[in-house]
A and B are shown apart, each in its own frame.
Chain A
């Protein structure tokens, strides 16, 4: 299920809460009493972490949603963000 250490079809932990604060987003992990600040890109990636999207599909969807983005750059960003989600224990 993993590719180069990154989940291919990432699944977000369902107990985490995403809240907008100003121009950023905060992901609250009540079980660990910890909150994580996400930028808009990371927050959008988070919304696609439901197990039905592969990384490439997440990149395609984001590029569709936000015209003008570079697909290669977005793929790199997705890899970085998913690694961070995994490292922080935010994925199942």
Chain B
């Protein structure tokens, strides 16, 4: 049995398989997260179906998935691992459904619905030399009021790689930490560049991504800080679930942490152009 344990503090995730092909695929799951020797809090496994036809994926609190193609079984595990993190009981830290990057020493939180383009924007920022907090999951420690990075692999649509030849080349060469699964490339930030991880802290800006804005003129514009904070506390934190008391404490803490943010709305244009515009705005 090949077992890989990683720390996504305070959680410890274990990925296990008795198959070398599956083990290589599992290496791309949260590839950039550090190894851990601690007892796992969340366990996942990928194994061949008994008849040898397809793969079975096992995760906590969900029925087994499969038999299915390896890419689909892997995608199930990736989905479950992220959902389990978002729903993990709060201890020292909780996980929020958002992306983020450090732009010129200022932490920028990137929020928007699934499919709004968080991962693509974060990938472009990473390629432009900025360190990242995450593309879809970031850690928030209420006590210190700090956000910090999660080593989840970026989920990128195949067509978005056309604008990112460096990442496309990494994927084409099968660099460890990259994987094509169910129509999407999963790319470890560590496979793109060393020193990918942004230092933790308080965000100085929040960027709202709304697919409805894609038809607008290219650019990044200032928007209501209050609306952005409400989005983060209602939508981003809401998706992280949790009981009412916890939700209330976290909401108040988040509002305090977001007191001095500047809020932006990313408009239309190519993601690379949006990344460049965001860079200019945040640097002002």
Binding site for B on A (CB under 8 A): 17, 19-26, 28, 30, 33-38
Q: Which among B234, B247, B263 is the interface contact of A22 at CB below 8 angstroms? A: B263
On whether the beta carbons of A21 and B261 are closer than 8 Å, the reply is yes
The 4 A-B pairs of least Cβ separation, nearest first, read A22-B225, A24-B226, A37-B226, A19-B255
Q: A33-B244, A34-B234 are in contact. Are A19 and B227 (CB under 8 A)?
A: no
Binding site for A on B (CB under 8 A): 224-230, 233-234, 238, 244, 247-248, 251-252, 255-256, 258-263
On whether the beta carbons of B248 and A21 are closer than 8 Å, the reply is no
Nearest CB in chain A: distance from B256 CB, A: 7
Residues of A close to B229: CB separation below 8 A: 21-22, 26, 35, 37
Nearest CB in chain B: distance from A20 CB, A: 6
Q: Which among A17, A28, A34, A37 is the interface contact of B227 at CB below 8 angstroms? A: A37
Nearest CB in chain B: distance from A88 CB, A: 13
Residues of A close to B234: CB separation below 8 A: 33-35
Instruction: Name 20 extra pairs, CB < 8 A, besides A19-B252, A35-B229, A37-B226.
Output: A19-B255, A19-B256, A21-B229, A21-B261, A22-B225, A23-B225, A24-B224, A24-B225, A24-B226, A26-B226, A26-B230, A28-B251, A30-B251, A33-B238, A35-B233, A35-B234, A35-B251, A35-B255, A36-B230, A38-B226
Residues of A close to B233: CB separation below 8 A: 26, 28, 35
Residues of B close to A33: CB separation below 8 A: 234, 238, 244, 247
Nearest CB in chain A: distance from B151 CB, A: 30
On whether the beta carbons of B230 and A35 are closer than 8 Å, the reply is yes
* A84, B150: Cα distance in complex, Å: 41
* A26, B224: Cα distance in complex, Å: 11
User: Which residue of chain B has the shortest Cβ distance to A30 in the bound complex?
Assistant: B248
Can you identify 17 A-B contacts, CB atoms within 8 angstroms? Answer: A19-B252, A19-B259, A21-B225, A21-B258, A21-B259, A22-B224, A22-B225, A22-B226, A22-B229, A23-B225, A26-B229, A26-B233, A30-B248, A33-B247, A35-B229, A37-B226, A38-B226
* A35, B234: Cα distance in complex, Å: 8
Residues of A close to B260: CB separation below 8 A: 22
User: Which residue of chain A has the shortest Cβ distance to B222 in the bound complex?
Assistant: A22
Which of B229, B251, B258 has the most C-beta atoms of chain A within 10 angstroms of its own C-beta?
B229
Q: A17-B252, A19-B255 are in contact. Are A37 and B261 (CB under 8 A)?
A: no
* A19, B247: Cα distance in complex, Å: 16
* A35, B226: Cα distance in complex, Å: 9
Q: A35-B230, A35-B234, A37-B227 are in contact. Are A22 and B261 (CB under 8 A)?
A: yes
Nearest CB in chain A: distance from B241 CB, A: 12
Nearest CB in chain A: distance from B219 CB, A: 20
* A22, B256: Cα distance in complex, Å: 11
* A15, B169: Cα distance in complex, Å: 55
* A17, B256: Cα distance in complex, Å: 11
* A36, B248: Cα distance in complex, Å: 14
Nearest CB in chain B: distance from A85 CB, A: 16
* A37, B224: Cα distance in complex, Å: 9
Nearest CB in chain A: distance from B234 CB, A: 6
Q: A26-B229, A37-B226 are in contact. Are A20 and B259 (CB under 8 A)?
A: yes
Residues of B close to A17: CB separation below 8 A: 252, 255
User: Which residue of chain B has the shortest Cβ distance to A39 in the bound complex?
Assistant: B226
Residues of B close to A25: CB separation below 8 A: 226
Residues of A close to B230: CB separation below 8 A: 26, 35-37
